[in-house]
């Protein structure tokens, strides 16, 4: 318990400026991602911009609002490595979707 106490006292309060900065950045990034739709960007540009703003926002929230930036690596790694499993799942299901749409086009429209 000694360790817990020391950590809480040492690390848990940060300057208010950090939070306000992150807050502002989140507003700006959200505004940008709304602008992606507003200007109706299409195709690769649209998707890449959406992903960039999304990951920036997610990173800022996790790192600073959820304090992961200040946590020890033991916790950070336990939380972040399982995301690779999700990435694998996304890749698998993307491939599966390609196959499904292929068979649908084949049997619905071309007729086997």
Partner 1 sequence: MSDNTLNNLPDGFKGMSHDMSSDQTAFKGVQWGKVMMWIFLLSDTFIFSCFLISYMKGRASTVVDWPNTSQVFSLHVGDVPVPLLLIAIMTFVLITSSGTMALAVKFGYEKNRKMCAWLILATAIGGLTFVGMQAFEWSKLIHEGVRPWENPFGAKQFGSFFFMITGFHGTHVSIGVIFLFIFARKTFRGDFDTGKRGYFTTMKSNYVAIEILGLYWHFVDLVWVFIFAFFYLW
> In the complex, which residues of this chain contact partner 1 (CB under 8 A)?
2-4, 6-8, 10-14, 16, 19-20, 22-23, 26-27, 30, 33-34, 36-38, 40, 46-47, 50-51, 53-54, 57-58, 61-62, 64-67, 71-75, 77-79, 82-83, 86, 89-90, 93-94, 96-98, 100-101, 104-105, 108-109
Task: Compute the C-alpha angle 35/39/42, nearest 5°.
Answer: 105
Rounded to a whole number of angstroms, the minimum distance from the CB of residue 8 to partner 1 is 7
Which residue's entry shows tokens 């900065």?
21
Could you tell me if 68 and 76 are in contact, meaning their C-beta atoms sit under 8 angstroms apart?
yes
Which one, 19 or 111, has the nearer CB to partner 1? 19
Smallest separation (angstroms) from partner 1 to the CB of 49 = 9
> Distances in Å between the alpha carbon of 110 and those of 96, 100, 104, 107?
20, 15, 9, 6
- Least separation, in Å, of the C-beta of 110 and partner 1? 12
DSSP structure class, residue 68: G
């Amino acid at each position: 318990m000694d360790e817990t106490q020391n950590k809480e006292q040492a690390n848990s309060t940060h300057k208010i400026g950090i939070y306000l900065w992150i807050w502002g950045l989140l507003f700006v990034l959200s505004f940008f991602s709304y602008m992606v739709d507003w200007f109706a960007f299409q195709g690769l540009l649209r998707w890449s911009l959406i992903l960039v703003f999304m990951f920036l926002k997610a990173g800022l929230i996790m790192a600073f609002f959820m304090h992961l930036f200040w946590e020890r690596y033991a916790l950070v790694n336990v939380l972040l490595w399982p995301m690779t499993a999700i990435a694998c799942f996304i890749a698998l299901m993307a491939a599966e979707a390609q196959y499904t749409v292929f068979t649908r086009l084949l049997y619905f429209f071309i007729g086997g």
